[in-house]
């Protein structure tokens, strides 16, 4: 005979709850690790602590210049910034003086904005147009390809070759979206891949046929790494979140900012042809220059960027800079140097550490962008000897 067992409804309910709790716990363990999960899972998801002086140490900043800015592709401008041969812009990137110029062959090239002779700047203005740029010190002149065209007192000197004394070139590439990238490395090749811009161009409706409208710079008292810090979300407030409302309208939501490399963001909104590129130049451990370039996806009219639109954008860019400054102050003053960093901070730290290891092995600082290595060519030393002899009134020009 089979004996019937009466099971309490409360027992069934409890068993169901226990089963559900077990399944939930398994789900949390295997599919969504948190601070309460297994120790080995924590090791995978926890980023390493940042080194001391991460935000405030000047020596570390100099190392970042050597490890990152001297040999990494940086998005510096856009092809539509240049219309006719000779159009140029001059700016600094982390202490490097850069000259971008459109050649007569339709190619935009980058050079160090220093004369090959005595390192004086060849472009004094932030932007302009000229098919010949000349240094005012000794009158050396260069064409749109950076080639030396005029060197007073040097033309008839035996052994002096104009072709060997052009402007110091900087690696330059243009991607499919028309964005121009530069790499300061003095090596003959720069093998790093460009930042992926295809998605950015599609989202913003950007092409090489855009039209340049305006540009300006703002100085900010913050460390450049704030741009890629998770602290942007930690300290961000609705009143300072201006960057997401640039060109805002009631019937549209801006697309951006979209990051393009470490130092550049792109922003726009679907209902407007206007878009803008913000490029950051780390000047020191606690100061960064912010440059905003405004473009239009279609040919702009005289009133497309004036009045309230222009004033609003400038105010929002300034508000963004103030936000960065506020975050940096908290990070620097509240003892946040050793706080755990995210993926981007860990990536930067790894790049710096790898470079420091190379320097330790070689027993010296490694400066990938150092142009003095190029300056010491035989042709340059010959030219320098001539000028020193002329300046001192010497009658002997020894080659």
pLDDT at position 73 is 93
The strands making up 141-142's β-sheet, listed across from edge to edge, are 133-134, 141-142, 148-150
Sign of CA dihedral 382, 162, 183, 260: positive
Give 202's contacts (C-beta < 8 A, 6+ positions apart).
Answer: none
pLDDT at position 257 is 79
pLDDT at position 92 is 95
Which of 343, 293, 355, 280 has its CA nearest to residue 70? Answer: 355
Which of 225, 207, 223 has its CA nearest to residue 266? Answer: 207
359 neighbors 347 (Cβ within 8 angstroms)? no
Superfamily of domain 67-195+369-399: Rieske [2Fe-2S] iron-sulphur domain (2.102.10.10)
Any idea what DSSP says for residue 180? E
For 200-336, CATH gives: 3.30.530
| Six token digits for residue 45 | 């998801």
Same fold, 67-195+369-399 and 200-336: no
CA distances from 298 to 81, 84, 211, 212 (A): 14, 18, 7, 10
pLDDT at position 165 is 87
DSSP states of 338-361 = TSBP-HHHHHHHHHHHHHHHHHHH
pLDDT at position 212 is 95
Q: Which residues of the chain are under the pLDDT cut of 50?
A: 1-5, 7-45, 231-254, 338, 373-375, 393-399
| Six token digits for residue 125 | 């203005």
| One-letter-per-residue 3-state SS of 226-239 | HHHCCHHHHHCCCC
CA atoms of 180 and 126, how far apart (whole Å): 17
pLDDT at position 295 is 94
End-to-end CA distance of the chain: 120
The residue extents of the domains of the chain are: 67-195+369-399, 200-336
Give 276's contacts (C-beta < 8 A, 6+ positions apart).
Answer: 246, 266, 267, 268, 292, 293, 294, 295, 313
pLDDT at position 52 is 84
Nearest 5°: CA angle at 267, between 261 and 271?
150
| Six token digits for residue 188 | 């003959």
CA distances from 253 to 204, 256, 309, 390 (A): 12, 9, 16, 64
In this structure, the strands spanning 287-296 and 274-284 are antiparallel
Three-state SS for 42?
helix
pTM of the complete model beyond 0.95: no
CA distances from 232 to 75, 205, 323 (A): 22, 27, 9
Which of 115, 113, 174, 108 has its CA nearest to residue 144? Answer: 108
166 neighbors 146 (Cβ within 8 angstroms)? yes
């Amino acid at each position: 005979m089979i004996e019937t067992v009466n099971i309490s409804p409360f027992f069934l309910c409890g068993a169901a709850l226990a089963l559900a709790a077990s399944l939930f716990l398994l789900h949390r363990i295997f599919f969504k690790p948190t601070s309460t999960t297994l120790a080995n899972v924590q090791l995978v998801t926890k980023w390493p602590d940042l080194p001391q002086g991460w935000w405030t140490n000047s020596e570390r900043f100099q190392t970042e210049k050597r490890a990152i800015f001297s040999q990494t592709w940086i998005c510096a401008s856009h092809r539509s910034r240049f219309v006719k041969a000779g159009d140029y812009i001059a700016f600094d990137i982390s202490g490097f003086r850069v000259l971008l110029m459109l050649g007569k062959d339709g190619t935009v090239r980058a050079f160090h904005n220093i004369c090959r002779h005595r390192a004086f700047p060849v472009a004094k203005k932030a932007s302009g147009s000229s098919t010949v740029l000349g240094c005012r010190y000794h009158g050396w002149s260069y064409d749109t390809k950076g080639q030396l065209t005029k060197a007073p007192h040097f033309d008839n000197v035996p052994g002096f070759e104009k072709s060997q004394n052009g402007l110091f070139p900087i690696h330059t590439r243009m991607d499919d979206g028309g964005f121009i990238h530069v790499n300061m490395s003095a090596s003959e090749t720069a093998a790093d891949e460009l930042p992926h811009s295809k998605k950015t161009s599609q989202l913003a409706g950007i092409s090489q046929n855009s039209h340049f409208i305006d540009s300006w710079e703002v100085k900010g008292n913050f460390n450049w790494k704030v741009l890629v810090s998770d602290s942007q979300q930690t300290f961000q407030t609705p009143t300072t979140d201006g960057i997401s409302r640039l060109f805002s309208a009631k019937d549209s939501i801006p697309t951006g900012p979209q990051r393009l490399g470490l130092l550049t963001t792109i922003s726009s909104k679907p209902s407007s042809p206007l878009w803008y590129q913000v490029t950051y130049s780390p000047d020191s451990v606690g100061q960064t220059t912010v440059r905003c370039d405004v473009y239009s996806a279609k040919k702009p009219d005289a009133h497309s960027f004036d009045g309230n639109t222009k004033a609003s954008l400038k105010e929002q860019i300034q508000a963004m800079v103030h936000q960065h400054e506020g975050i940096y102050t908290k990070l620097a003053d509240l003892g946040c140097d050793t706080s755990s960093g995210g993926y981007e901070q860990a990536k930067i730290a790894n790049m710096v550490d790898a470079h420091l290891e190379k320097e330790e092995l070689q027993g010296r600082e490694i400066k990938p962008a150092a142009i003095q290595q190029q300056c010491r060519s035989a042709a340059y030393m010959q030219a320098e000897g001539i000028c020193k002899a002329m300046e001192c009134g010497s009658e002997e020009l020894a080659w």
